[in-house]
A and B are shown apart, each in its own frame.
Chain A
Amino acid sequence: MAQQPSPRAGLIDMGDTTTFFRDTRHEPHRRATAEAPWVRRLLITGALSFLGIFLGMPLVSVFAEGLKKGLGFNFHTFLDPQTLSAIKLTFIVAGISVPLNCVFGVAAAWAITKFDFRGKNLLITLIDLPFSVSPVIAGLIYVLLFGAPGPFGTWLSDHNLKIIFAVPGIVLATTFVTFPFVARELIPLMQAQGRTEEEAARVLGASGWQTFWRVTLPNIKWGLLYGVILCNARAMGEFGAVSVVSSHIRGETITIPLQIEILYNDYNTAGAFALASLLAFLGLVTLVLKTWIERKKAAALRAAEMDLIT
């Protein structure tokens, strides 16, 4: 039997990789790219005030306004039957469109990164379409398709099916708008991971499903979760597309963002802000989750790249 490769070899390996990721932040020397102190201070002040005015202040004011009348008032607002139904509908819509986009996104990313086929670039462009098209247009597309004058309009009304100006339309529009999030998140990750692990699994006798469940999915789980969270945030907050396909029937086809608009237009500013603070709070929770998962995902990506280096 041969000897073990000397432990030194491993040490050298590790040495190389640590050098590769060497942290230079705490080095005492002034870097060549650094500016004079007064320039730095000016730029930092400018950036911070911009951030404060455009991001910090609105966020603070939403919560300040929303909590002005106390938490009790907030709960009172939320328990109003119309608002409650808006909250319920928002969760239903997100609950349908997010899982759909999760499945579509994984399937699209899997096809794009693990196989070569004609029209691949077209598919990548199509996935980006909802990002480049205004949500209002997205809503309008469905009105034109499924509305009364559209190609399916007559058939739908003959069979007494209502898509536009009803819940199915809201789900469709939301799904369209949030389509790219999962796929966009997964494609770079899966590209970095390559196909060899899947090939290894196939040679070892795994079927396509086994390869997906046992090899691909565990490798992309953090990226997938990240995409799902972004997708969910957008699904709950979407206004434009939903507004076009909703018939604005209070208590029936109103989601949280639409309900905020209604409350605001009814001069119920306090109620609008209370509901807005709920939506903003959900957004913040998303952000915290996102940051936590981002770290996990970065670790997975780094591991994928390290594999290629060593």
Chain B
Amino acid sequence: MSVEVRNITKRFGKFTALDNLNLKIESGELVALLGPSGSGKTTLLRIIAGLEFPDPGAGQVLFYGEEVTNLPASERKAGFAFQHYALFRHLNVFENIAFGLRVLPRSKRPKEPEIRERVEKLLKLIQLDAHGKRFPTQLSGGQRQRVALARALAVGPKVLLLDEPFGALDAKVRKELRRWLRQLHEEIHVTTLFVTHDREEALEVAGRVAVLRDGRIEQVGTPEEIYDRPASAFVYDFLGNVNLFHGQPHGGSVKIGDTEYAVTEKGGPLETPAVAFVRPHDIRISREPGGHATLAARVIRCNTAGPSAHLELRRLDNDGWFEVQLSKEQFNELQLNTGDQVYVELRNVRVFPEDYSI
């Protein structure tokens, strides 16, 4: 166990940022803290780094089994990369990376040639070996973030903490940096925890994802587990586009329109009115009723830009609106046009109690 937080609670005035939260991170893992803004993910990261402290007596932070709850940030040996990089603007790239080594107590501080060697090595790792003499303002956003990462790595941190590492970058640079971060992690295998509100980023980069909501952990699991078997309506919704069908469940099925749909997996007890969740790509369309395709709907919009076709449909029985995603081939086969009446079949229906509203 490399990082563990136990029963952490943190309040800012009346606002509860973290509510009795627990999380364990294995050595060498790459974990994403995913959640909407205000869910407490950055606060959790800052508490692990020692930049914030949990409410007195409310929780513990452990690094490799050793309690660090009350240690100041400077004694925790965590690497931290800030969303806006926080590079030292008066120091060049080389000195930024060397900073952590230069402030070590004299007895532990490496000799100048050794500092030079370590910084050069890191500059190569972040592919900025020619830019050591530049100042932060002379770098692009992506380059700055890599310098920030190298600076954090220079001190040989026990754990690397990244706060929205790609949040301030444009889409293309973001994608490149994501891939770079994953490769970097495969190379150096330092336990890494990164905060993001971008589900795609979390699912693509992380080995394990922790979904946060209102200061609590909603679900922890591999990206596949989280996506395929969300533990709650919130996780289901947060991870992707979703259609809601209100209905009355009984037994192992739920009635939507006139049809009973088998429930793939239930998220709670099925006595109360419930909401069935279906992803847009889990809906089949046919021109004629038959088999399971019994729910009548009308096509109100077709968008075929991009790799697949996106349709908007309206139910004929109660005006409910939903989205469908089809492959281009299926779409062409069906020869659909706006205004057409079709019949849809719902697959992978998941039911959650109706207390959650999107």
Tell whether, in the assembled complex, residue A308 and residue B89 are in contact, meaning their CB atoms are under 8 Å apart. no
Known contacts: A2-B183, A9-B172, A197-B86. The answer to whether A203 contacts B50 by CB under 8 A is: yes
**CB proximity to B under 8 Å, residues A195-238:** 196-197, 199-207, 210, 214-215, 218-219
Tell whether, in the assembled complex, residue B141 and residue A310 are in contact, meaning their CB atoms are under 8 Å apart. yes
**CB proximity to B under 8 Å, residues A127-152:** none
Known contacts: A196-B86, A303-B89, A303-B137. The answer to whether A201 contacts B99 by CB under 8 A is: yes
Distance between Cα atoms of A306 and B90 in the complex (Å): 14
Known contacts: A202-B74, A215-B88. The answer to whether A4 contacts B100 by CB under 8 A is: no
With a 10 A CB-CB cut-off, give which of B73, B78, B79 has the most chain A CB atoms.
B73
Tell whether, in the assembled complex, residue B103 and residue A205 are in contact, meaning their CB atoms are under 8 Å apart. yes
Tell whether, in the assembled complex, residue B88 and residue A5 are in contact, meaning their CB atoms are under 8 Å apart. no
Known contacts: A199-B82, A215-B88. The answer to whether A5 contacts B99 by CB under 8 A is: no
With a 10 A CB-CB cut-off, give which of B102, B140, B180 has the most chain A CB atoms.
B140
Distance between Cα atoms of A253 and B280 in the complex (Å): 88
Chain A residue with Cβ nearest B77: A205
B177: which A residues are within 8 A, CB to CB?
2, 5
A197: which B residues are within 8 A, CB to CB?
86-89
Tell whether, in the assembled complex, residue A200 and residue B88 are in contact, meaning their CB atoms are under 8 Å apart. yes
Selected contact of A203 from candidates B78, B137, B176, CB within 8 Å: B78
B49: which A residues are within 8 A, CB to CB?
203
With a 10 A CB-CB cut-off, give which of A6, A199, A204, A308 has the most chain B CB atoms.
A204
Tell whether, in the assembled complex, residue B155 and residue A200 are in contact, meaning their CB atoms are under 8 Å apart. no
B99: which A residues are within 8 A, CB to CB?
201, 204, 206, 214
Tell whether, in the assembled complex, residue B86 and residue A202 are in contact, meaning their CB atoms are under 8 Å apart. no
A200: which B residues are within 8 A, CB to CB?
80, 82, 86-88, 151
Known contacts: A13-B140, A196-B82, A197-B88. The answer to whether A203 contacts B173 by CB under 8 A is: no
Assess whether A156 is interfacial by the CB under 8 Å rule: no
Assess whether A307 is interfacial by the CB under 8 Å rule: yes
Assess whether B170 is interfacial by the CB under 8 Å rule: yes
Tell whether, in the assembled complex, residue A5 and residue B142 are in contact, meaning their CB atoms are under 8 Å apart. yes
Assess whether B51 is interfacial by the CB under 8 Å rule: yes
B90 to chain A, nearest CB (A): 4
A218 to chain B, nearest CB (A): 4
Distance between Cα atoms of A219 and B89 in the complex (Å): 8
Distance between Cα atoms of A13 and B172 in the complex (Å): 13
Assess whether B304 is interfacial by the CB under 8 Å rule: no
Assess whether B84 is interfacial by the CB under 8 Å rule: yes
Tell whether, in the assembled complex, residue B51 and residue A203 are in contact, meaning their CB atoms are under 8 Å apart. yes
Total number of A residues with any Cβ neighbor in B under 8 Å: 32
Tell whether, in the assembled complex, residue A199 and residue B142 are in contact, meaning their CB atoms are under 8 Å apart. no
Tell whether, in the assembled complex, residue A306 and residue B137 are in contact, meaning their CB atoms are under 8 Å apart. yes
Tell whether, in the assembled complex, residue B88 and residue A10 are in contact, meaning their CB atoms are under 8 Å apart. no
**CB proximity to A under 8 Å, residues B44-78:** 49-51, 72-78
Chain B residue with Cβ nearest A215: B88
Distance between Cα atoms of A202 and B50 in the complex (Å): 9
A206: which B residues are within 8 A, CB to CB?
74, 99, 103
A214 to chain B, nearest CB (A): 7
Distance between Cα atoms of A27 and B85 in the complex (Å): 37
Assess whether A1 is interfacial by the CB under 8 Å rule: yes
A220 to chain B, nearest CB (A): 10
B81 to chain A, nearest CB (A): 9
Selected contact of A199 from candidates B73, B89, B172, B179, CB within 8 Å: B73
Chain B residue with Cβ nearest A204: B100
Distance between Cα atoms of A18 and B89 in the complex (Å): 19
Tell whether, in the assembled complex, residue B84 and residue A9 are in contact, meaning their CB atoms are under 8 Å apart. no
Assess whether B241 is interfacial by the CB under 8 Å rule: no
Distance between Cα atoms of A215 and B74 in the complex (Å): 15
A200 to chain B, nearest CB (A): 4
**CB proximity to A under 8 Å, residues B155-176:** 155, 168, 170, 172-173, 176
A251 to chain B, nearest CB (A): 47
Assess whether A124 is interfacial by the CB under 8 Å rule: no
**CB proximity to B under 8 Å, residues A282-310:** 303-304, 306-308, 310
Closest 10 CB pairs of A and B: A10-B140, A2-B180, A196-B86, A204-B100, A5-B142, A206-B103, A200-B86, A218-B90, A203-B80, A202-B73
Residues of A near any B CB (own CB < 8 A): 1-6, 9-10, 12-13, 196-197, 199-207, 210, 214-215, 218-219, 303-304, 306-308, 310
Residues of B near any A CB (own CB < 8 A): 49-51, 72-80, 82, 84-90, 99-100, 102-104, 127, 136-137, 139-143, 151-152, 155, 168, 170, 172-173, 176-177, 179-180, 183
19 A–B contact pairs at CB < 8 A?
A: A1-B180, A2-B127, A3-B176, A5-B140, A10-B143, A197-B86, A197-B88, A199-B80, A199-B82, A199-B86, A200-B80, A200-B86, A200-B88, A203-B49, A204-B99, A205-B100, A207-B103, A219-B89, A303-B137
A200-B87, A204-B74, A207-B74 given; 14 more Cβ-contact pairs under 8 Å: A1-B180, A2-B180, A5-B140, A9-B140, A9-B173, A197-B87, A199-B51, A200-B151, A202-B72, A203-B49, A203-B51, A203-B152, A214-B103, A303-B89
